[in-house]
Amino acid sequence: MCSQKNMPHSIMSLTPLQRKTLLQHILVNDQYHFLYCYVPKVACSNWKRVLKVLNGDLESVDVNIKMDHRSDLQFLSSFKPEHIDYRLKHYFKFMFVREPMERLLSAYRNKFGEIESYQKKYGVEIVKRYRQTHAKDAPVKGDDVTFAEFVRYLLDTDAERMNEHWMPVYNLCQPCAVSYDFIGSYEHLERDSEFVLQRIGAPPHVRFPERQTWYKPVTTETLNYYLCTLPQKLLRELLPKYILDFSLFAYHLPNTTTEHCQH
């Protein structure tokens, strides 16, 4: 995929906005010489915990604290250009990917189902913009955005300006401009994480956290249920937005015919 001629082959060939997004998503560990490009909704909170434990800022991955996604973390964007280049050249670089529609659904259920700030910031706007039956002066809480309304909003949003929780992985991590040494998958999270920890030489007491007991995974059935509630036209229009994620990471495109949907 990356050998196609219109693909970027170095971070210098990215636009300023693309480069900014990328550098803000790459976390740096100088002690173990690695770079990790984090993708929201692909176990990134757990990886950030691991980084904090490796830095000595967190005692163990199981410490029960709310994750602070900024503090005690070093982002590649905070380095000078020559220091950025050095690390990109010499450090072990890795990222984790997930089936694109599953990641979207996970973001949708989490942000619009549970997080009030997202309901206020995005939900209210989405309902006002896409709900035909919405009475102009009725109060909107934004906590009942439907999956179809969310997809309509995604179709009208430029991929490069999306919120990181639903921005395509391609735009977050630029896997053609950065040559990653390892790309793990959410489907083999335990095995792949174990490999990375060994590869970077993490001490034996640092392991990848177990999934939280309260964690509700997106099952194939759930994903099918949501995709089947979508008007097919919307699904067909949505796939091109995430097509690079499907093709670069070898995920099968979902079936866009309703025959497999049991109504």
Q: In this model, does residue 114 exceed pLDDT 70?
A: yes
Share of the chain above pLDDT 90, in %: 81
Q: Please give the pLDDT value at position 140.
A: 86
- Is 70 exceeded by the pLDDT of residue 16? yes
| Residue 85 main-chain phi, psi, to 5 deg | -60, -45
Q: What is the model's pLDDT at position 213? A: 64
Question: SS3 of 28, please?
Answer: strand
Which 3 state secondary structure label does DSSP give 54? Answer: helix
Query: What's the rounded Cα separation, in Å, for the pair 111 and 107?
Result: 6
DSSP 8-state symbol, 122: I
Interval 237-246 mean pLDDT: 97
Tell me the pLDDT of the chain averaged across its residues.
Answer: 93
> E strand or H helix at 125, and its extent?
helix 124-130
Instruction: Give the Cα-Cα-Cα angle 78, 165, 111 (nearest 5 degrees).
Output: 130
Identify the pLDDT of residue 214.
66
Whole-number CA gyration radius for the chain? 19
pLDDT at 231: 92
pLDDT reported for residue 107 = 96
pLDDT value of position 68: 83
C-alpha distances (whole Å) from 34 to each of 6, 31, 54, 175, 193 are 28, 8, 11, 16, 14
